Amino acid sequence: MTGRSRGERPITEHRKAFHDYHIIDTFEAGIVLTGTEVKAIREGRVNLRDSYGRVEAGEVFVYNIHISAYSHRGYADHEPTRRRKVLLHKTEIRKLVGKTVERGMTLVPVRMHFKNGRVKLAIALAKGKKTHDKRERIRQRETERETRAAIKERQGR
């Protein structure tokens, strides 16, 4: 296993968040879901794009996590993008309140996975990147790629 503990199975990841934000700190938390939501997540019908978190009245909520309808649902159904409560310890919530008050800091769900049969959400404290930061990172990646190609070519001789 590569870096994951036993019983941990990835569901989805918000890769664009790593491009759009500087990730400062990540918290693993539970999330309050209904039965049809969990079944739909097991089918892989979840999307973290455009989702964000907010601290309201001492509790953390996530918005816009799109969980599509479960394929074998009967009369029971759920709203796909409803607000969902995130289960964190009080000390973690207090830490988040202090940080999100600062200018430019936000909460972004970055990963969802199963851990011992339960759905867990990795929520990150992040700061938005400026356009020039994104361009600089892309330039660095291209330079590294070219360097690796040149080294590989020299070793091939």
Contact 109, 48 (CB under 8 A): yes
Supply the pLDDT for residue 1.
Answer: 41
d(CA 22, CA 137): 11
d(CA 18, CA 32): 25
d(CA 36, CA 78): 7
Q: What is the pLDDT of residues 110-135, one digit of tens each?
A: 999 999 889 999 999 988 888 777 78
Q: What is the pLDDT of residues 55-100, one digit of tens each?
A: 988 899 999 998 888 888 777 777 888 899 999 999 999 888 888 8
Supply the pLDDT for residue 64.
Answer: 92
Supply the pLDDT for residue 45.
Answer: 87
Per the structure block, which two tokens stand in for 44?
Answer: 């892989």
Contacts of residue 32, defined as CB under 8 A and 6 or more positions apart, other chains included, come to 84, 85, 86, 87
Residue type, 7: G
Number of helices (H), then strands (E), belonging to the chain: the values are 4, 9
- Mean pLDDT to the nearest integer, 45-58: 89
Q: What is the pLDDT of residues 14-47, one digit of tens each?
A: 888 888 888 999 999 999 998 888 888 888 889 8
Contacts of residue 147, defined as CB under 8 A and 6 or more positions apart, other chains included, come to none
* pLDDT band, very low/low/confident/very high, at 7 (cuts 50, 70, 90): low
Supply the pLDDT for residue 157.
Answer: 64
Supply the pLDDT for residue 26.
Answer: 92
pTM of the model: 0.75
Q: CATH assignment of 10-129, given 3.10.20.30, 2.40.280.10, 3.40.190.10, 3.30.470.10?
A: 2.40.280.10
Supply the pLDDT for residue 96.
Answer: 86
Residue 30, classed as helix, strand or coil, is strand
Buried b (16+ CB within 10 A) or exposed e, 63-100: ebbebeebeeeeeeebebeeebebebeeebbeebeebb
Buried b (16+ CB within 10 A) or exposed e, 115-127: eeeebbbbbbbbe
Q: Hey, where are the domains in the chain?
A: 10-129
Question: In this predicted model, which residue has the larger pLDDT, 65 or 102?
Answer: 65
